[in-house]
Amino acid sequence: MLCNKTVAVVVPAFNEEKQITTVLKGMPDFVDRVIVVDDCSTDATMNIVRTHIEEDKTEGTEITAGALQV
């Protein structure tokens, strides 16, 4: 929360298995929600995001993962 406002970040991702963990762990403390949008990656991007969601139970932070359907 920043200035009594909820802060959400949308992270578009396409084949970002090497970078996505760094991006998610680098979110500032004032970010309340992170929404990762997978753009039909052919690598393990979404599996890594899902693992991060399970492992990171930071109180007050919500990470949502979804795939873009074409």
Residues 1-30: tens digit of each pLDDT: 788 889 999 999 999 999 999 999 999 989
- Distance from C-alpha of 33 to C-alpha of 8, rounded to nearest angstrom: 5
Above 50 in pLDDT, residue 70?
A: no
Confidence at 61, pLDDT banded by 50, 70, 90: low
Q: What pLDDT does residue 42 have?
A: 94
The confidence band for 65, taking pLDDT boundaries of 50, 70 and 90, is: low
Percent of the chain with pLDDT over 90: 46
